């Protein structure tokens, strides 16, 4: 009788588990990803290595913009689902794991027919991953003086450089398909030459013109080496008269506009092949409008990385006399620097534009994205209004760092398991993997609870402030 009761209980649990999985599939197919995620999270507690549950859970996390969790569970889902590598290619790329991104895209391409219309776009993504992986080996160590988030529509107002460098102006062009573009004009300090961008057949190109006695010469393309079939914009000429910085979203960029530099060869009157200036100046987002004041050792560039639509961050930095490449085996630290999550921070004396030698390494305050409610998103810790919320955010940041360390430990253990030479070695790793998996799940749940707690405290504080006014 006791055995029969146990058996019936087992059948009931199995049936309940199956119904749970079916509910998850219904939610998933109806694109109710938050509900589906909750169901698959329950399923994974019972069957943590289930390939389909891991894949579906990862897809839910992907749709909900929870990138790190998506990566973990896509990796756990194995190789049964070809689309896994397509998603991982994107997720690895956006998290600066460029070598892994390239490998994921290469793997996915093996499943795509040679005549498939998606293939050219996939090859383009693969190329960008490979370019980014190459540039990632030469991340430059730069010192940031200041950063400010401004409206994209008038961002040049915040470039505070001497008139000795020349002048910049900005107009807005209406482009095809209701798009808009910046028309940038740079004029030399002597007012005798202009470099400017303009639209040609729907693309932006850079042109130049000389001052004549009775006006300006006819505008001509600055160079076929600079202008391509893609968009080129945001020109700036150094005081040496031969070095041009500009931005391009062409095949040698890693995402959107990237900053490039080239120099005129006076003996041939031709420009050298443009060079991508690399990380941390460029990113998978749009980066542009590099201005360098060599005399005062100041530089500026703009980026919309981690910014809401219509906003752009202006970075003021201290240019290196010689490119200072970071040499480290710590990929996590290198990623933080490449993304400008961390950087060396230095101050400028009010009485002197020149930069002091002393500098300290610090985290960027402009690189957060915290959703308080449907209408409020914070992009800097200075936006928190309630001191209790700020304390909670600091705790959450520490928890997040611990979570990343633990998930990396889990990834490393799984890699060792896959590479193990025999069952004895694999069996020895299994308990540690299961223990670490449980710890990761606990930490993830704690992070979720803490995030909701902070969101509620801040949201209630804002509501109370509004009522009191």
Q: Per the confidence metrics, is the pTM higher than 0.85?
A: no
The superfamily in CATH containing domain 2-136 is: Tetratricopeptide repeat domain (1.25.40.10)
Looking at residue 422, its pLDDT comes to 82
Looking at residue 375, its pLDDT comes to 64
Q: How far apart are CA 454 and CA 390, in angstroms?
A: 9
More confident residue, 142 or 404: 142
Q: How far apart are CA 409 and CA 401, in angstroms?
A: 13
Mean per-residue pLDDT, 157-168? 93
Q: How far apart are CA 365 and CA 384, in angstroms?
A: 12
Crossing angle of helices 51-63 and 83-94, rounded to 10°: 40
Q: How far apart are CA 434 and CA 123, in angstroms?
A: 38
Residue 234 has pLDDT above 90, yes or no: yes
CA gyration radius for the chain? 26
Looking at residue 405, its pLDDT comes to 81
- DSSP letter at 368 equals -
Stated as kind and residue range, the H or E segment containing 69 is helix 67-76
Q: How far apart are CA 32 and CA 59, in angstroms?
A: 11
Average pLDDT, the chain: 86
Specify the 3-state DSSP secondary structure of 250: coil
Integer CA distances (angstroms), 91 to 53, 55, 61, 164, 431, in order: 19, 14, 11, 44, 29
Looking at residue 182, its pLDDT comes to 93
**Domain chopping of the chain, boundaries:** 2-136, 140-363, 377-468
41-89 pLDDT per residue, tens: 889 888 888 999 999 999 999 999 999 999 999 999 998 999 999 999 9
Looking at residue 469, its pLDDT comes to 63
Model confidence at 374, pLDDT cuts 50, 70, 90, reads low
Looking at residue 359, its pLDDT comes to 41
The percentage of the chain sitting over the pLDDT mark of 90, rounded to a whole number, equals: 52
Q: Find out whether 186 and 236 touch, Cβ atoms under 8 Å.
A: yes
Q: Find out whether 88 and 109 touch, Cβ atoms under 8 Å.
A: no
Mean per-residue pLDDT, 254-266? 94
More confident residue, 431 or 232: 232
Q: How far apart are CA 292 and CA 245, in angstroms?
A: 9
């Amino acid at each position: 009788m006791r055995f029969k009761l146990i058996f019936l209980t087992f059948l009931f649990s199995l049936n309940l588990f199956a119904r749970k999985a079916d509910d998850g599939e219904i939610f998933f197919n109806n694109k109710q990803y938050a509900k589906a995620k909750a169901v698959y999270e329950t399923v994974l507690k019972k069957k943590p290595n289930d390939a389909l549950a891991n894949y579906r859970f990862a897809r839910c996390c992907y749709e909900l913009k929870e990138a790190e969790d998506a990566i973990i569970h896509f990796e756990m889902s194995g190789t049964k689902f070809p689309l896994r590598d397509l998603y991982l290619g994107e997720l690895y790329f956006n998290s600066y794991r460029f070598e892994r991104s390239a490998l994921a895209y290469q793997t996915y391409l093996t499943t795509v027919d040679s005549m498939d219309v998606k293939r050219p776009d996939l090859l383009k993504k693969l190329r960008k991953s490979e370019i980014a992986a190459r540039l990632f080996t030469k991340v430059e160590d730069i010192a940031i003086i200041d950063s400010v988030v401004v409206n994209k529509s008038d961002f040049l107002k915040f470039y505070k450089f001497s008139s000795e460098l020349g002048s910049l102006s900005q107009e807005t062009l209406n482009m095809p398909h209701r798009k808009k573009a910046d028309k940038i004009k740079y004029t030399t300090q002597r007012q005798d030459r202009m470099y400017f961008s303009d639209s040609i057949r729907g693309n932006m190109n850079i042109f130049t013109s000389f001052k004549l006695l009775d006006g300006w010469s006819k505008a001509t393309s600055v160079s076929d080496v600079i202008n391509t079939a893609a968009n080129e914009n945001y020109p700036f000429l150094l005081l040496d008269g031969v070095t041009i910085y500009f931005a391009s979203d062409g095949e040698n960029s890693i995402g959107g506009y990237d900053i490039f530099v080239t120099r005129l060869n006076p003996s041939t009157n031709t420009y050298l092949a443009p060079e991508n200036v690399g990380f941390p100046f460029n990113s998978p987002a749009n980066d542009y409008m590099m201005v360098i004041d060599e005399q005062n050792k100041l530089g500026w560039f703009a980026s919309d990385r981690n910014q809401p639509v219509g906003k752009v961050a202006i970075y003021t930095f201290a240019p290196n006399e010689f490119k200072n490449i970071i040499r480290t085996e710590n990929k996590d630290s290198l990623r933080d620097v490449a993304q400008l999550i961390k950087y060396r921070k230095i101050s400028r004396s009010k009485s002197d534009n020149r930069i002091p030698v002393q500098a300290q390494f610090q985290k960027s305050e402009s690189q957060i994205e915290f959703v308080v409610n449907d209408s409020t998103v914070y992009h800097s810790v200075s936006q928190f209004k309630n001191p209790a919320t700020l304390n909670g955010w600091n705790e959450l940041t520490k928890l997040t760092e611990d979570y990343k360390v633990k998930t990396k430990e889990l990834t490393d253990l799984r890699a060792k398991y896959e590479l193990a030479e025999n069952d004895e070695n694999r069996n020895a790793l299994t308990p540690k993997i299961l223990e670490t998996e449980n710890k990761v799940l606990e930490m993830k749940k704690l992070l979720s609870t803490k995030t909701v707690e902070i969101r509620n405290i801040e949201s209630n504080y804002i509501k109370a402030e509004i009522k009191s006014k």
